Amino acid sequence: MSRKFFVGGNWKMNGDKKSLTDLIQTMNGAKTDPNVEVVCGAPSIYLDFTRSNLDAKFGVAAQNCYKVPKGAFTGEISPAMIKDCEVNWVILGHSERRHVFGESDELIGQKTAHALESGLGVIACIGEKLDEREGGITEKVVFAQTKVIADNVKDWSKVVLAYEPVWAIGTGKTASPQQAQEVHEKLREWLKTNVSESVANSVRIIYGGSVTGATCKELASQKDVDGFLVGGASLKPEFIEIINAKM
């Protein structure tokens, strides 16, 4: 079964109207592979601005949301608000949310369930820290994270799994294509055993962690790598190269 290649750009807490206008104009004017689904994760304050200016062929994602539609939750945004800005995706469980802001697996699961029920697509992030990889428990960690997500998903067609080894995010260290493929393959086996064979074959598992124009082509050639979640490079013109990694 062919899985449509998916490239997400996570802008994190970066950009202003001037720099984002430049980036959006670059993307709108670029020749990009029509067989790739592209989604840009904008800071919440710029979601409306990004969706209004970015070509409709590109999707937009929020970088986080809360687990209920509205209420007394100062500083939070809900899937209902995200959808009201005509934005159709949200990134959940990013390692910075887990490790900088202390979000638990349980909370990420609840957010995933509510976002999906609200009709958003979810880019669900999982990944191990350096001490966990060196301790030989990568699989244990990512399977536990995946289980909490899987327990909260009814419709897998709206979910993209993003494997991001925490030790490779923003460090310039990239998992080798073989390391990435090995974890992606094991994740697919886990889905086959614990969810279903059809989900395992159809769900897109993308890789994140210092993906650049230089590393993207070899990573993209791996059998179980279905795309990327790109951090720093998504703010630069080289993001176009990454989108076109399969061309």
Q: Tokens 């030989």 correspond to what residue?
A: 136
Q: Tokens 């687990």 correspond to what residue?
A: 67
Q: Which range marks the domain in which residue 65 is found?
A: 5-244
Q: Is 164 among the catalytic positions?
A: yes
**Angle in degrees, CA 178, 11, 36, rounded to 5:** 55
Q: Tell me how far apart the alpha carbons of residues 108 and 94 are, in angstroms, rounded to a whole number.
A: 9
> What residues pair up with 205 in beta bridges, in sequence order?
161
Written as tens digits, the pLDDT of the chain (247 aa) is 689 999 999 999 999 999 999 999 999 999 999 999 999 999 999 999 999 999 999 999 999 999 999 999 999 999 999 999 999 999 999 999 999 999 999 999 999 999 999 999 999 999 999 999 999 999 999 999 999 999 999 999 999 999 999 999 888 888 899 999 999 999 999 999 999 999 999 999 999 998 999 999 999 999 999 999 999 999 999 999 999 999 9
**Angle in degrees, CA 148, 137, 232, rounded to 5:** 75
Q: What does the pLDDT read at residue 238?
A: 96
CATH number at residue 139: 3.20.20.70
Q: Is 94 among the catalytic positions?
A: yes
Residue from 103, 114, 164, 184 carrying the catalytic annotation: 164
Q: How many domains does the chain have?
A: 1
What is the Rg, in whole angstroms, of the alpha carbon atoms belonging to the chain?
Answer: 17
Q: What does the pLDDT read at residue 171?
A: 84
Q: Is this prediction's pTM over 0.95?
A: yes
Q: What does the pLDDT read at residue 170?
A: 83
Spatial contact of 33 and 243, defined as CB atoms under 8 Å apart: yes
- Amino acid identity of residue 5, one-letter, is F
Residue from 37, 94, 103, 132 carrying the catalytic annotation: 94
Non-local CB neighbours of 65 within 8 Å, separated by 6+ positions: 76, 77, 78, 79, 82, 90, 92, 111, 114, 115, 120
Q: What does the pLDDT read at residue 174?
A: 81
Q: What does the pLDDT read at residue 145?
A: 98
Q: What does the pLDDT read at residue 1?
A: 60
